[in-house]
Structure 1
Amino acid sequence: MKGYILLFGVSMLAACTSVTAVNSRQDGHLTVTSRARWDLVSWNHVRAAGLSEAEDYCEKQKKQLHTVEIHSEGLRGVTSQTVEVIFDCI
């Protein structure tokens, strides 16, 4: 029973964020943006979703993630939160 509750909780958190596809920038770095769908989602969860997408992208290329910068906007409970992860796969 605890396993089902945990799975449900993780599923709900995953539904709380959206993540864009990985895009390349003019400076040669890659970028991905994650957004909270609800105002009550924590900044850490939004950041983790973006980093996870970046890490998955690099792993598919058999490379490692190197984070260049992380930018955030928004305030929990007031405005929607957005996190942009700028990274390289090396």
Structure 2
Amino acid sequence: MRGLVLLAGVSVLAACTSVTDVHSQQDGHLIVTSRARWNIVSWNRVRNAGIGEAQAYCKKFRKEMHTVEMHTEGLRDVTAQSVVLIFDCI
């Protein structure tokens, strides 16, 4: 029963954000964007979703994620929040 509650909680948290696929830029860096699906989602959760996607991408190549730049937009409870993460796998 406890496992089912944990699984349900994780599913709800994952549904709060959306994350794009990782893409490469012309300058050689990689980019991923995460967005809140609702205005009540914290910036931290949106940021962590993008960072998690970037780390998982680099881990596939047995490399570490290194943040180059991070841009944020939006205000909790007012406008939708998004985080653009530019990174490298080193």
Taking structure 2 as the reference length, the TM-score comes to 0.93
Residue 10 of structure 1: how far off its partner (Å): 1.8
CA distance in 2, matches of 1:2, 1:42: 26
2:73 is the alignment partner of 1:77? no
Q: Equivalent residue of 2:35, what SS?
A: strand
Match of 1:47 in 2: 47
C-alpha distance in 1 between matches for 2:19 and 2:47: 10
Q: 1:49-90 CA distances to partner (integer Å, 9 max, x unpaired)?
A: 000000000000111111111110000011000001100001
The alignment-based identity, stated in percent, is 68
Query: Counterpart of 2:6?
Result: 6
Provide the alpha-carbon RMSD of the alignment: 1.1
Distance in 2, Cα, partners of 1:3 & 1:68: 37
Summarize deviations over 1:15-41 as a string: whole Å, max 9, x none: 111100001111111000000001101
